[in-house]
Structure 1
Amino acid sequence: MANPHLDHHLALLAHLRGILLAMGEAEQISDESHALFLERFDELLMSLPNIPEDRHLGQDLICQVFHRYPQIAHLVPRDLLWFFGGDCLHFMPDDEIALFQELDERRYEAEQNGLPFDWNQEKQLLALPQESSKH
């Protein structure tokens, strides 16, 4: 059964992997363990569709991206931090955590009611500044 929520995050992981690969190809990384890190990243991409509940490897890898590659920390999709949770949440400010919590609640409610849910559209709606009342 298709899972748009999981597919969205797998696409973000693939994008992040592309960034990591490009760093290695541009020789911006002198660490010999970069290839091993990419292998572990590939393992995550392969196993996550089959065992989506098993996110501990993802938590570990995303946290390692912040520690090993701080120069690309700003390129890590925020959705991945929320998706993997755990220690990844240490890299998110409280207001961002609140936004993703609201998003998850809306997604859950839509799923319970059999309604479609567009994660990106809802995220954009939630990120809009609240209109102040004009008198």
Structure 2
Amino acid sequence: MANPHLEYHLQLLHHLRTILAALGEAEQVPEESHALFLERFDELLTLLPQDPLQSQYLGQDLICQVIQRYPQIAHLVPRDLLWFFAGDCLHFMPDEELELYQQLEEQHYEAEQKGEAFDWAMEKQARIEAITRNQA
């Protein structure tokens, strides 16, 4: 059983997979290369729960490829996936966003050390709302 943090990111990947499949069904991308890309994406979905560390590079590569191959949906790639896979994915995030995710990561680590639960999505939303209030 994957931990809640990994489960959350797997859900985001499944959502992105649905978007990618819809692109193919709408015939907005070359069929053959898209089918091969989806196969690799499915491989990531299978491997990630089994071996998160070994899957990290495949995830980085695929998320970066989504943005580069399918610019029409780049804005739909969950930002959490960019942070989760890190590496080259971080080049697609502005400094302010990197700072937000770094703070979340530190908060997650602290909660883990204390044996406390940490809801990544909820904490992220709370931080974004606080930033929005401070800017208003």
Q: Which category of TM-score, normalised to the shorter sequence, fits these structures?
A: over 0.9
> 1: distance between equivalents of 2:106 and 2:2?
20
Q: TM-score, normalised by structure 1?
A: 0.93
> 1: distance between equivalents of 2:5 and 2:110?
14
| Residue identity in the other structure for 1:4 | P
> 2: distance between equivalents of 1:30 and 1:39?
14
| Residue identity in the other structure for 2:72 | Q
Q: Percent of aligned pairs with the same residue?
A: 68
Structure richer in helix, relative to its length:
2
| Residue identity in the other structure for 2:94 | P
Report if aligned partners of 2:104, 2:124 keep a CA contact under 8 Å in 1: yes
| Residue identity in the other structure for 1:13 | L
Task: Map 1:21-32; keep pairs closer than 5 Å.
Answer: 21-32=21-32
| Structure 2: runs of 5+ lacking an equivalent | none
> 1: distance between equivalents of 2:23 and 2:103?
34
Q: Which residue of 2 aligns with 1:110?
A: 111
Report if aligned partners of 2:2, 2:49 keep a CA contact under 8 Å in 1: no
> 2: distance between equivalents of 1:73 and 1:20?
11
1:61-89 per-residue CA deviation (whole Å, 9 max, x = no partner) reads 00000110000000000000000000000
Task: Map 1:1-135; keep pairs closer than 5 Å.
Answer: 1-54=1-54, 55-130=56-131
> 1: distance between equivalents of 2:128 and 2:100?
8
Cα deviation for residue 128 of structure 1 reads 1.9
Q: TM-score, normalised by structure 2?
A: 0.93
| Residue identity in the other structure for 2:4 | P
> 2: distance between equivalents of 1:73 and 1:66?
5
> 1: distance between equivalents of 2:121 and 2:10?
14
Question: Whose Rg is larger?
Answer: 1
Secondary structure, aligned partner of 2:38: helix
Cα deviation for residue 32 of structure 1 reads 2.2
Secondary structure, aligned partner of 2:50: coil
| Residue identity in the other structure for 1:103 | L
Report if aligned partners of 2:41, 2:62 keep a CA contact under 8 Å in 1: yes
| Structure 1: runs of 5+ lacking an equivalent | none
Structure 1 runs (4+) deviating above 4 angstroms are: none
Cα deviation for residue 129 of structure 1 reads 3.6
